[in-house]
Amino acid sequence: MSKIFVDACLRKPTPYTPVWMMRQAGRYLPEYMAVRAKAGNFLNLCHNPELAAEVTIQPLDLVGVDAAILFSDILVVPNEMGMKLEFLKGEGPVFEKPVVTEADVDALLGGEEAANKLTYVYETIKILRKQLDVRGDEKALIGFTGAPWTLATYMIEGQGTKTYNICKKMMYSNPALLHKILKKVTEVVKFYMEKQIQSGVDVVQIFDSWAAAIEPSKYDEFSWKYMVEIAEYLKAKYPHIPVIMFPKGISAFIERGLVYGNFDVFGVDWGTPMAMAKEKLGDKYVLQGNMEPCRLYDKTATTQCVEGIQNIMKGEGHIFNLGHGILPDVPVENAIHFVKECQRVSKK
Ligand code: CP3
């Protein structure tokens, strides 16, 4: 069966421009909060395939998006490489023992062995594949990973950071160690994405949420080339599976024409003008995005933005999304309004 979201990723004609939202399964939905409470906490929810599948489906029914994104987190990868992880209330993710030395990197599990430990993710995908096929409503399932750089920032800093000073100190004073970490993560992620595809996802997205922490002249060396390596590995083996790249906040890199590689869709963040992305990348890649997520607080601001993006993209080589994740205090009805407006303005 042909799925509208997959067709759009591959630049095939669709009846309207499909839409989904980054972080669409999450705290703004009371139904998500109820399932998370049942699981006990966020990581337990990620580890419970039945419940993880349930919250993955929620935004399809409650908000009307055209694709489901697997419910999990990017940090399950370093966790299964052997780094103890906790999500602290109000503080986000924390690794007990950050990576500091070469010996710390060597002690981490690598390659397929690490990827094999993520069985609960593959189990969740298999449940979802069955559920989506039974529904028969042409909704696609998106798998994902963090980019090696974004994962490395948490592995090195031990938690979220505003300054990235520890990993940037490593970038300039011991780049070989940073590359060693990035290479090891890249190898695990290749197997991880491959196993997600074998378990049944239709599309994969690579999130480089902290791309903008790297100065533009260093971005290729420390992040983009590793993302491209993963994408090209997957496209060589699974050419029918679309790959979406989302490097957040790299308009200077785009402006200089440095985006390259074999993938299908480029996720445009909200700080990059869609017209500029179209001019620089629109011939080569389908573009995804890019409403500023805070516009969701106001329906008029949402409609204006959706119409503006539609006027630029005109339903060609485009997927609607936010330019980053939806925030927990957005009213559900405003999210529904966004989805309906995207489907309305782009209807052919
Ligand atoms: O998009 C989806 O609906 C699928 C699920 C998903 C989550 N995290 C669930 C989640 C996805 C795709 C992610 C990716 C992720 N995780 C990223 C990249 C995407 C982005 O937003 O830039 C990053 C950087 C992380 C790491 C992470 N996970 C942080 C920093 C936090 C804490 C901050 C926060 O938003 O609370 C998380 C927790 C997290 N991941 C939650 C959810 C629903 C909230 C946990 C909860 O329910 O309490």
Residue 266 has pLDDT above 80, yes or no: yes
Mean of the pLDDT values across residues 38-63? Answer: 97
Amino acid at 204: V
Mean of the pLDDT values across residues 144-156? Answer: 98
Choice from 41, 57, 74 to test ligand 1 binding pocket (greatest atom count within 8 A of CB):
74
SS3 call for 169: helix
Q: If we measure between CA atoms, which residue out of 285, 344, 337, 282 comes closest to residue 312?
A: 282
CA separation (Å) from 135 to 15, 140, 187, 343?
20, 11, 35, 20
Instruction: For residue 35, count other CB atoms closer than 10 A to its CB.
Output: 19
176-217 pLDDT tens trace: 999 999 999 999 999 999 999 999 999 999 999 999 999 999
CA separation (Å) from 95 to 39, 62, 79, 81, 310?
21, 34, 8, 12, 42
Sheet strands (E) in 78-180: 85-88, 92-95, 140-146
Per-residue pLDDT, 313: 98
Q: If we measure between CA atoms, which residue out of 281, 201, 282 comes closest to residue 241?
A: 201
For the chain, what is the mean pLDDT? 97
Residue 295 has pLDDT above 70, yes or no: yes
Protein residue whose Cα sits closest to atom 33 of ligand 1: 92
Per-residue pLDDT, 137: 85
Q: Which residues line ligand 1 (CB under 6 A)?
A: 22-27, 36, 42, 69, 71, 73-75, 87, 92-93, 144, 146, 160, 207, 209, 325
DSSP-assigned letter for residue 125: H
Residue 323: φ, ψ to 5°: -85, 5
From the candidates 7, 16, 27, 164, give the one annotated as an active-site residue. Answer: 27
Mean of the pLDDT values across residues 289-317? Answer: 98
Domain boundaries, the chain: 4-346
Residue 1 has pLDDT above 80, yes or no: no
**Alpha carbon distance 85, 79 (integer Å):** 6
Cα of 120 to ligand 1 centre, how many Å?
17
The number of the ligand 1 atom at minimal distance from the alpha carbon of 59 is: 3
Per-residue pLDDT, 136: 87
The number of the ligand 1 atom at minimal distance from the alpha carbon of 72 is: 5
319-329 pLDDT tens trace: 999 999 999 99
For residue 2, name the pLDDT band (cuts at 50, 70, 90).
confident
pTM, 2 dp: 0.97
Is 27 a catalytic site residue? Answer: yes
- Say if residues 69 and 144 touch (Cβ distance below 8 Å): yes
Residue 228 has pLDDT above 80, yes or no: yes
Q: If we measure between CA atoms, which residue out of 306, 288, 38 comes closest to residue 140?
A: 288
CA separation (Å) from 301 to 269, 298, 334?
17, 5, 11
Is 208 a catalytic site residue? Answer: no
**Alpha carbon distance 275, 21 (integer Å):** 20
Cα of 49 to ligand 1 centre, how many Å?
17
Residue 284 has pLDDT above 90, yes or no: yes
Choice from 20, 23, 151 to test ligand 1 binding pocket (greatest atom count within 8 A of CB):
23
Is 73 a catalytic site residue? Answer: yes
The number of the ligand 1 atom at minimal distance from the alpha carbon of 154 is: 26
Cα of 42 to ligand 1 centre, how many Å?
10
Protein residue whose Cα sits closest to atom 7 of ligand 1: 73
On whether the 4-346 domain is CATH 3.30.365.10, my answer is: no
Q: Are strands 67-69 and 286-288 parallel, antiparallel or unpaired?
A: unpaired
The number of the ligand 1 atom at minimal distance from the alpha carbon of 248 is: 22
Q: How crowded is the C-beta side of 172, counted as CA atoms within 13 Å?
A: 8
76-117 pLDDT tens trace: 999 999 999 999 988 899 999 999 999 999 999 999 999 999
- Say if residues 249 and 269 touch (Cβ distance below 8 Å): yes
